[in-house]
Amino acid sequence: MPAKKPGNPILDQLKSATTDERLAVEFFERMRWPEGAACPRCGDVDVYQMMQAGTDERQENFRWRCRGCKKQFTVRVGTIMEDSPIPLKVWAYAFWSACASKKGVSSLQIQRETGLSYKSSLFMMHRIRWAMVESGGAPLFGTVEVDETYVGGKPRKANKVEDRKSAKRGRGTDKQPVVAMVERGGRVRTRVVANVTAANLEEAMRECVHPSACIVTDELNVYPSAARDFAGGHKTVKHGDGEYVKYEADGFAIHTNTAEGFFSLFKRALIGAYHHVSREHLHRYAAEREFLYNTRKMDDADRVATAIRMAEGKRLTYKQPALA
Ligand SMILES: [Zn+2]
């Protein structure tokens, strides 16, 4: 009998972390400082855990002290969890829910499961989505499908089966256009744009796609101009003529099915988990779907560890305008 494949040890640590505050603190510390703790303020590694007087128990806020700058810190400092009164075991649970659920998790669900107020739950989940935003990642290479769709806004009875043509123009809806750029076999990037114009699409593509890429889109009239500078060229499929894939002589398939597949997952998550997503917050949900797509080959535990590592350097508070 072959030996049973050992599970990911992070998974067990994570499960314990959701039930006990000390284990949660130690879990976040291990994730953040796998090589040993360092001061988040000055970077000094000459740091030590503060103990309760006369015991070998850690001080109750799990503080550290830095011998370099003499300041105290905790594992929360300099992360999305700084300034939050929510226990780290609840944060661990929320990270887990956000990373392991294929369909997405709503703040309402987290509220029910953790007993937090709705406001706190929303705050926490928005921070986690913010952690998932990948900034400054490598541009998309190779064949990149670009497509746009309309999502969010107030739910309407009539738009259950959405007519793609009218959705493209966004007529009579308060839905928000989202652009997805998908590297075939690779990563996705999304941008929420004010309107679907050549200028907006060009800007999104310039930010996310390498100039050598080959762009594949449908026949929407804004794409030729938006894609004109890409060295790999611009290929189109004519959805209006019922054409969903076109093969070139060398077997290259022109289609945008990968991008459409991403949008269909995104929309299902929006309908299933989030009852209402306002325009202001849509980019957060898009970033969450982007993160889940780009880490799809990881197991759940590694995905959680990745999200936690991305939470560093992203401290935000209620007051910052980015959260408006
Ligand atoms: Zn220091």
- The Cβ of residue 129 has, within 10 Å, a number of other Cβ atoms equal to 21
CA distance 96 to 113: 13
CATH of the domain at 265: 3.30.420
Q: Which residue has the tokens 């503060």?
A: 50
Q: Report CA(64)–ligand 1 centroid distance (Å).
A: 10
Quick check: is 72 in a domain? no
CA distance 141 to 201: 17
Quick check: is 127 in a domain? no
CA distance 25 to 22: 5
Q: Report CA(18)–ligand 1 centroid distance (Å).
A: 29
Quick check: is 224 in a domain? yes
- Alpha carbon of 271 to those of 75, 266, 267, 274, 294: distances in Å? 35, 9, 6, 6, 21
pTM over 0.85: no
How much of the chain exceeds pLDDT 90, in percent? 62
Q: Report CA(73)–ligand 1 centroid distance (Å).
A: 8
Number of domains in the chain: 1
Q: What's the confidence (pLDDT) of residue 318?
A: 43
Q: Report CA(40)–ligand 1 centroid distance (Å).
A: 7
Amino acid at position 131, single letter: A
- What integer is the mean pLDDT of 236-241? 88
pLDDT in tens, 257-275: 999 999 998 888 887 776 6
Quick check: is 40 in a domain? no
Quick check: is 203 in a domain? yes
Burial of 128 (0-12, 13-18, 19+ CB in 10 A): buried
Q: Report CA(26)–ligand 1 centroid distance (Å).
A: 20
Domain that holds residue 151: 143-277
Q: Report CA(32)–ligand 1 centroid distance (Å).
A: 16
User: Could you tell me the pLDDT band of residue 161, with boundaries at 50, 70 and 90?
Assistant: very low
Quick check: is 304 in a domain? no
Q: Please, which residues have CB within 8 angstroms of residue 25's CB and are 6 or more apart in sequence?
A: 62, 74, 75, 88
Q: Report CA(48)–ligand 1 centroid distance (Å).
A: 11
pLDDT in tens, 111-142: 999 999 999 999 999 899 989 888 767 899 99
Which element (helix H / strand E) includes 226? helix 223-226
